[in-house]
Structure 1
Amino acid sequence: MESNEIRISSWNELQEELFSDSWSPHLGRFRSRNAFRGLSDAHYPLLTGLIRLGGNFVDIERHILRNFKKYAHRSVAGGDSVWHWLSMAQHFGLPTRLLDWTYSPFVAMHFATANIEKFDVDGVIWAVNYVQAHQMLPASLRGALEREGANVFTVEMLAESIWSLGDLGNLAMEDFVMFFEPPSMEDRIVNQFAFFSIMSDPHKPVDQWLEDHPAIWRKIIIPAELKWEIRDKLDQGNITERVLFPGLDGLSRWLKRHYSPKG
């Protein structure tokens, strides 16, 4: 919806928009309740890897996940719930019904400006209020959050409430979106301040659901002509691949981008 789109015109204006609703009167602190997702192209929809897979992807999902568990099991430590395995699969690039988000607006800025091959098109940062989204959850899930005094689920909390992905779709007549934190299985998840969303209906993209709930989200457009300034300032602030993807692969990605010629 166009009324939810905000086109910024400067670095300072971007900061104002990203932190505009972060004041919490209840806490007396600046604590944003937004999930952020940065994309290099403002026209990209919020599609999961499973939807992008195409074909009869929902029926294929269980086969993909079953075989992932079969071959990955000896390399994976931790819980054995479907939520643990989904988190692990998403983290390592398997097409799943999860979508990546971050608590950090600066990490979202990084992903909106990391691909220098997309510096000729507008980028975007989505901001979705996960607390308000969770107010529309089925009563059983809202109750689980309230008992924990939490705003976002953990995989352990979900494992106590939902045994299978099939159960998720049977909890309510209306579609809903849910946010949860993965286990801190790698430094990358911790450094990116990452968490996931999941739709009750795996066929439905998150942005389609958001269209019916315009009060809880904003779409902040980053003009192409501002990307180099934002990118350079993020690099100066040490928000880079070297930090967000610890290891030699992240170091190599940072160096390749950092020393690529402008234009």
Structure 2
Amino acid sequence: MTEGMNNEIRVESWNQLQEELFADSWSERLGRFRSRNAFRGLSDAGYPLLTTLIRMGGDFVTVERHILRNFKKYAHRNVVERDSLWHWLSVAQHFGLPTRLLDWTYSPLVAMHFATANIEKFSTDGVIWAVNYVQAHQLLPTALGNRLAQEGANVFTVEMLDQAVTSLDVLDALAQDDSLLFFEPPSMEDRIVNQFAFFSIMSDPRRGVDAWLARHPEIWRKIIIPAELKWEVRDKLDQSNITERVLFPGLDGLSKWLTRHYSPKR
């Protein structure tokens, strides 16, 4: 990836990390601090922005339809609020099925958690990607851009997409425009709500998001958290109650938090 325009920032302190994450959040029009960034935290700065579908390998483009069809066939019908492509994709991603979706959050603190949750990676630099979804949506095909404008929205909902993109075939037809869009899933579980989560999707399932971003350097930044800073960030997040216990409600999240919290520093 060719990085320009100071896209990659390596922070040196907790305070600088906060400044960089909230650097462009002031809205002159609103007179309020309202970030327009989607954040994604990764424990290894070298990890690409690839979907679980791409990481399957093989003929994953063809396999995608078979996986989703069989997921719909065998899943309980009451797992989705509505029988639509976007509800099924959201549920499938949530439960770990390989999809062309990628997880993001509106919260920079949640992104910091995911960049520092894996203590096995504390000798490796972490990263938080910040992508301006408003600017990304300005590059959408006119019909989709107009759909957002009609609603006065910055991010799609599944209901909006149900009307605009009704099938994978329609989505694939947008691939010629090489589109990246962000949408909010239904609030089907506390985990999605607590993580302030939403998804991105590429119209072309073969394209990684980072490859698309390389062509649009004006809309993103890559904030590197050095390995030597990770313990401080992790401890301060724990003190702020940004932990697995909150972000993954239930006994599994509680167990993950306690295991990490009482693990020795390495």
Q: Residue 71 of structure 1 aligns with which residue?
A: 74
My pick for the range that moved more, 143-152 or 68-77, is 68-77
Of residues 109, 124, 127 in structure 2, which corresponds to 1:121?
Answer: 124
Are 1:196 and 2:181 an aligned pair? no
* CA distance in 1: counterparts of 2:93 and 2:74, whole angstroms: 15
Question: Residues 74-114 of structure 1, C-alpha deviation per residue, up to 9 Å, x if partnerless?
Answer: 45141111000000000000000000000000000000000
Aligned length, in residue pairs: 263
Of residues 139, 150, 156 in structure 1, which corresponds to 2:142?
Answer: 139
Q: Which amino acid aligns with 2:73?
A: K
* CA distance in 1: counterparts of 2:10 and 2:175, whole angstroms: 36
Contact 2:86/2:162 (8 A) holds in 1: yes
Question: Residues 48-93 of structure 1, C-alpha deviation per residue, up to 9 Å, x if partnerless?
Answer: 0000000000100011011111111345141111000000000000
1:24-173 equivalence runs, <5 A? 24-171=27-174, 173=176
Q: Which amino acid aligns with 2:92?
A: A
User: Shift in Å at residue 171 of structure 1?
Assistant: 3.1
* CA distance in 2: counterparts of 1:136 and 1:253, whole angstroms: 40
Q: Residue 15 of structure 2 aligns with which residue?
A: 12
Are 1:258 and 2:247 an aligned pair? no
Structure 2: which 5+ residue stretches go unaligned? Answer: none
Q: Which amino acid aligns with 2:244?
A: E
My pick for the range that moved more, 73-82 or 160-169, is 73-82
* CA distance in 1: counterparts of 2:60 and 2:130, whole angstroms: 27
Are 1:177 and 2:180 an aligned pair? yes
SS at match of 2:65: helix
SS at match of 1:43: coil
Q: Which amino acid aligns with 2:213?
A: L
* CA distance in 2: counterparts of 1:244 and 1:75, whole angstroms: 24
Q: What TM-score results when the alignment is normalised by the length of structure 2? A: 0.97
SS at match of 2:153: coil
4+ aligned runs moved over 2 Å, structure 1? 171-174
Q: Residue 222 of structure 2 aligns with which residue?
A: 219
* Pairwise CA RMSD: 0.9
Contact 1:87/1:182 (8 A) holds in 2: yes
Contact 1:138/1:172 (8 A) holds in 2: no
Question: Residues 137-158 of structure 1, C-alpha deviation per residue, up to 9 Å, x if partnerless?
Answer: 0000011101111000000100
User: Shift in Å at residue 2 of structure 1?
Assistant: 3.6
Q: Which amino acid aligns with 1:112?
A: A
Q: Residue 239 of structure 1 aligns with which residue?
A: 242
**How high is the sequence identity, in percent, across the aligned residues?**
78
Q: What TM-score results when the alignment is normalised by the length of structure 1? A: 0.98
Provide closer, same or farther for how the CA distance between residues 246 and 179 of structure 1 changes in structure 2, counting only shifts above 3 A: same
SS at match of 1:52: helix
SS at match of 1:46: coil
SS at match of 1:171: helix
